[in-house]
Structure 1
Amino acid sequence: MSARILGIFIFLLSSSASQAADLAMRAAVDWSAPYFGISGGYGWLGDVDRSFAPPLRSSGDDVVFGAHAGYLHQFDAFVLGGEVEYMRLGINFEGFPIDVENAASAKARVGFAFDRLLLTGHAGASHITTNIGLKDWGWVAGAGADYLLSENIGAGVSWDHMQFNRFGGTLIDGQINLVKARVDFRF
């Protein structure tokens, strides 16, 4: 009789563990969704003007803010997606009446999900404008971390590095780095 009770107990315990594991798998977060959000942070730029001998170096930094939208799709733990972003920069070159005003980027995002945590890298194209009419295309690359606070709200941080060689047809090579906090709404 005790062997029969022990067998029933083991059967119930193993089926409960199996059901709990199944519920945990179903409760895991799926990052597949379109999203939009806002961001704010800090940016700094530096450039080298090679039309001077020795080359003239300048820099600047300021607070930045913007908006973004994108889509992510999850394959097991692997996440793939794309994002477009607009950033209002307003970074002034120290000692010059030149402001880098706006940046627009289109980026591919690739990463890994660890339930509510998503770690990604991104790369793509970026376009910036200045207050003196110079504008140009360059590349952008960086990394980020996002965390789902709820089913629809996420928060994160990201870093972007933008590079522009021979900016606007000049002999200026420039780079911009942005560190941002982000809030997203998924739908």
Structure 2
Amino acid sequence: MSARFLGIFICLLSSSASEAADAGRAAVDWSAPYFGISGGYGWLRDVDRSFTPALRSSGDDVVFGAHAGYLHQFGAFVLGGEAEYTRLDINFEGFPIDVENAFSAKARAGFAFDRLLLTGHAGATYITTNIGLEDWGWVAGAGADYLLSDNLVAGVSWDHMQFDRFDGTLIDGQLDLVKARVSFRF
């Protein structure tokens, strides 16, 4: 019985020492302005309701871009904003239309787990095409960032963009982007 008690005591003592060491270590603070680059893949789907039955089209291609923003940490909660440009060049299959550029402004919110940051985001986005059609829509998604050093962050993100009656047409478009990101905090 005393060996059992001693084992429990040692476990509790080592657990308390570990917690004390963690408490003494400075926690990561995600509060900082940042900028970076991204690259990934995008999938475009639309439905043209001017035809009966509705005409569906899609396209996909590699995407790349740049982003800048600011995050502020309140305990484990992180809140911020981000502006992002994405070069798309996604062609609608069977049509001479290329979706070329996306400009987004997003609010970000999430939780920090030391060097790991998990966030969701939502905001507005503006898309341009090679034939002069352009319009506003909304964007929402999620992301995960990992702090590699005091200034370098690597991450992944997913954006879903939605456009209803794009530029006054009967086209309802959806764009999904999955990107790897590298950011520099200063």
- Structure 2-normalised TM-score? 0.89
Give % identity.
Answer: 85
Looking at structure 2, the residues matched to 107 and 83 of structure 1 have their Cα atoms a distance apart, in angstroms, of 5
Query: One-letter code of the match for 1:54?
Result: P
* Paired residue secondary structure (1:51): coil
Residue 20 of structure 1 deviates from its aligned partner by 3.3
Looking at structure 1, the residues matched to 62 and 38 of structure 2 have their Cα atoms a distance apart, in angstroms, of 11
Aligned to 2:141: 142
Query: One-letter code of the match for 1:78?
Result: F
Looking at structure 2, the residues matched to 149 and 21 of structure 1 have their Cα atoms a distance apart, in angstroms, of 19
Aligned: 1:183 with 2:182? yes
Looking at structure 2, the residues matched to 166 and 92 of structure 1 have their Cα atoms a distance apart, in angstroms, of 19
Structure 1 runs of 4+ with >3 Å offset: 16-22
Residue 143 of structure 1 deviates from its aligned partner by 0.2
Residue 23 of structure 1 deviates from its aligned partner by 2.1
The C-alpha deviation readout for 1:61-119, integer Å capped at 9, x for no partner, is: 00000000000000000000000000000000011110000000000000000000000
Count of aligned positions: 172
Residue 34 of structure 1 deviates from its aligned partner by 0.2
Aligned to 1:20: 21
Looking at structure 2, the residues matched to 160 and 19 of structure 1 have their Cα atoms a distance apart, in angstroms, of 40
Aligned to 1:171: 170
What CA RMSD, in Å, does the superposition of the two structures yield over aligned residues?
1.6
Looking at structure 1, the residues matched to 170 and 22 of structure 2 have their Cα atoms a distance apart, in angstroms, of 61
**Larger CA Rg, structure 1 vs 2:** 1
The structure-2 alpha-carbon separation of the partners of 1:113 and 1:54, relative to structure 1 and needing over 3 Å to count, comes to same
Query: One-letter code of the match for 2:116?
Result: L
Query: One-letter code of the match for 2:45?
Result: G
Aligned to 1:159: 158
Looking at structure 2, the residues matched to 22 and 130 of structure 1 have their Cα atoms a distance apart, in angstroms, of 53
Looking at structure 2, the residues matched to 152 and 184 of structure 1 have their Cα atoms a distance apart, in angstroms, of 8
Query: One-letter code of the match for 1:98?
Result: I
For structure 2, the 5+ residue unaligned runs are: 1-12
Residue 167 of structure 1 deviates from its aligned partner by 0.0
1:28-177 to 2 correspondence within 5 Å? 28-177=27-176
Residue 152 of structure 1 deviates from its aligned partner by 0.1
